[in-house]
Chain A
Amino acid sequence: MKLYLKYFAIHLKSTMQYKASFFMTVTGSFLTSFTVFLGIFFMFQRFHSVAGFSYEEVLLCYGIMLMGFSVAQMFASGFKVFDSMIANGEFDRILCRPRNEIFQVLAFRIDFVRIGMLLQGIVMLWYALVKCPVDWTFPRALTVALMVIGSSVLFSALFLLDGSVAFFTLQGLEFMNVFTYGANEHGKYPLSIYGKGMLTFCTFVIPYALVQYYPLTYVLGRSDRAWYMLLPIIACLFVVPCWIVWRIGVHRYKSTGS
Chain B
Amino acid sequence: MIEVKDLKKTFKVARREAGFGEAVKALFHREYELIHALDGISFSIGDGEMVGYIGPNGAGKSSTIKILSGILTPDSGLCTVGGRTPWKERRAHVKEIGVVFGQRSQLWWDVPVIDSFELLKEIYTIPAGTYKKNLSELTEILDLSKIVKTPARQLSLGQRMRCEIAASLLHDPKVLFLDEPTIGLDAVSKLAVRDFIKRRNKDHGTTVILTTHDMQDIEALASRIILIGKGRILLDGTLDDIRRGGEHIDETVAELYKKFDV
Chain A residues proximal to chain B, CB less than 8 Å = 2-3, 6-7, 10, 13-14, 17-18, 88-90, 92-93, 95-99, 254-258
Given contacts A3-B123, A17-B151, is CB(A99)–CB(B91) below 8 Å? yes
- Given A89-B104, A98-B94, A257-B71: 16 more A-B contacts, CB < 8 Å: A10-B111, A10-B116, A13-B111, A88-B104, A95-B71, A95-B94, A96-B69, A96-B99, A98-B90, A98-B95, A98-B124, A254-B71, A254-B73, A255-B72, A256-B11, A256-B12
Given contacts A17-B151, A97-B94, A254-B87, is CB(A92)–CB(B111) below 8 Å? no
Question: In the docked arrangement, what's the CA distance between A89 and B102, Å?
Answer: 12
CB atoms of B71 and A92 under 8 A apart: yes
Question: In the docked arrangement, what's the CA distance between A7 and B12, Å?
Answer: 37
Give the distance to chain B from A219, nearest Cβ to Cβ, in Å. Answer: 41
Main secondary structure of the interface of A (DSSP, over half): helix
- Interface size of B in residues (CB-CB distance below 8 Å): 32
Name which residue of chain A comes closest to B112, CB basis: A13
CB atoms of A14 and B122 under 8 A apart: no
Name which residue of chain B comes closest to A251, CB basis: B73
Q: Write out the residue numbers on chain B whose beta carbons fall within 8 Å of the beta carbon of A93.
A: 101, 104, 106
Interchain Cβ contacts under 8 Å between A and B, 25 examples: A3-B122, A3-B123, A6-B118, A6-B122, A7-B119, A10-B115, A10-B119, A13-B110, A13-B111, A14-B108, A14-B109, A14-B111, A17-B111, A89-B104, A90-B104, A96-B71, A96-B94, A96-B97, A97-B94, A97-B124, A98-B91, A98-B123, A99-B123, A254-B72, A257-B11
Name which residue of chain A comes closest to B72, CB basis: A257
| Among candidates A2, A96, A98, A257, residue contacting B92 with C-beta atoms closer than 8 Å | A98
Given contacts A88-B104, A254-B87, is CB(A17)–CB(B69) below 8 Å? no
Name which residue of chain A comes closest to B121, CB basis: A6
Question: In the docked arrangement, what's the CA distance between A10 and B108, Å?
Answer: 8
Name which residue of chain B comes closest to A89, CB basis: B104
Q: Write out the residue numbers on chain B whose beta carbons fall within 8 Å of the beta carbon of A90.
A: 104
Question: In the docked arrangement, what's the CA distance between A2 and B109, Å?
Answer: 22
Q: Write out the residue numbers on chain B whose beta carbons fall within 8 Å of the beta carbon of A2.
A: 122
Q: Write out the residue numbers on chain B whose beta carbons fall within 8 Å of the beta carbon of A255.
A: 72-73
Chain B window 217-256, contacts with chain A (Cβ cutoff 8 Å), 1 for yes, 0 for no = 0000000000000000000000000000000000000000
Q: Write out the residue numbers on chain A whose beta carbons fall within 8 Å of the beta carbon of B69.
A: 95-96
Question: In the docked arrangement, what's the CA distance between A93 and B179, Å?
Answer: 13
Q: In the A-B complex, list the 3 residue pairs whose CB atoms are closest, starting with the nearest.
A: A14-B110, A98-B91, A3-B122
Q: Does B84 contact A (CB under 8 A)?
A: no
Q: Does B70 contact A (CB under 8 A)?
A: yes
| Among candidates B92, B97, B119, B151, residue contacting A6 with C-beta atoms closer than 8 Å | B119
Q: Does B80 contact A (CB under 8 A)?
A: no
Name which residue of chain B comes closest to A18, CB basis: B110
Q: Write out the residue numbers on chain A whose beta carbons fall within 8 Å of the beta carbon of B134.
A: none
Q: Write out the residue numbers on chain A whose beta carbons fall within 8 Å of the beta carbon of B108.
A: 10, 14
Chain B window 132-174, contacts with chain A (Cβ cutoff 8 Å), 1 for yes, 0 for no = 0000000000000000000100000000000000000000000
Question: In the docked arrangement, what's the CA distance between A254 and B9, Å?
Answer: 12
Name which residue of chain B comes closest to A91, CB basis: B71
